[in-house]
Amino acid sequence: MKEPLRAGVHVAAITPFTADGGIDAPYYARLLAHFEANGAQGVVVAGSTGEGPSLSAPEKAQLYELAVQAKGTLQITAGVLVCSLDEALYLARQACKVGCDALMVAPPFYYSTGTKGLIDFYKAVLDASRLPVILYNIPQRTHHKITPELIDALLEHPNLLGVKDSSGSVRSMNRFLRYTPRLRVWVGEEKLLLQCLQRGGAGSISGLANVYLARMARLCEAFQRGEACDGLQSLIDSAADIIDAFPAPANFKCALTLAGFPETHVRPPLENLSPEQQRNLKARWIGLD
């Protein structure tokens, strides 16, 4: 049996692309080694920051496999951000086949549907999956919320692991935290990391961790030791303010060049940062503590 998904920081990893638009496998392997060295517990592959909706199903499966091959001690969660139930089931099979540790599944994001439709979708994935499943609450992208009614309908399923809440709302986070310890709760809003831990949450699945991982991992470690973490949280808040002033995930790809990684672009319809934006981000980022 696989080790349960660990508490702490799991990086919502970018997806690097080659000049001709393919997945840059050597870059990705180097990136995961960097995350492991800087305290990550795991990596989420092909999530929002990883441009999952811009990847074909075979590309997602390829990326899952690349991540597993390069993971070292990291745990690998396969992002499943799709509209098609058949594609979700295909990705669940592929993630299990290549050795991923969990799935992170967003609500289907094209059609408007009620709670029953979402329950049916998630039950089908949970029933078919041989991996534990994290529900992904990101209503600003999917226009569907993971509601208490939905969770209550799924709560007894043995494959349901937890929730990632990227709403940015303290109220939303607290609503999910009421389900602990039955469910593990990670936040996507890094400014809520310390609050999440203090209230029994598992940590963060974080885009910011692509470029500010060491401080975030240190906060989680300090919290577990019972040390004061407010200063570290303030540093994380400042980093989030800087990076969030620029469009994601191009902002993370730009900032990674300051850590010695090659330049890599986003896929259409996303846009790369303009030269002026790149200069501004780098100037502000270099000034971080």
**Does 164 qualify as catalytic in the annotation?**
yes
Catalytic residue among 28, 64, 136, 179: 136
| DSSP H helical ranges for the chain | 25-37, 57-69, 85-98, 115-128, 139-142, 148-154, 170-177, 193-198, 209-224, 230-243, 250-256, 275-286
State the helix-helix crossing angle for 25-37 and 57-69, rounded to 10 degrees.
Answer: 50
Work out whether strand 133-137 and strand 102-105 pair parallel, antiparallel, or are unpaired. Answer: parallel
Residue of 98, 109, 163, 107 whose CA lies nearest to 132: 163
3 state DSSP class of 102: strand
Catalytic residue among 27, 64, 71, 164: 164
193 neighbors 239 (Cβ within 8 angstroms)? no
289 neighbors 235 (Cβ within 8 angstroms)? yes
Report the catalytic residues: 136, 164
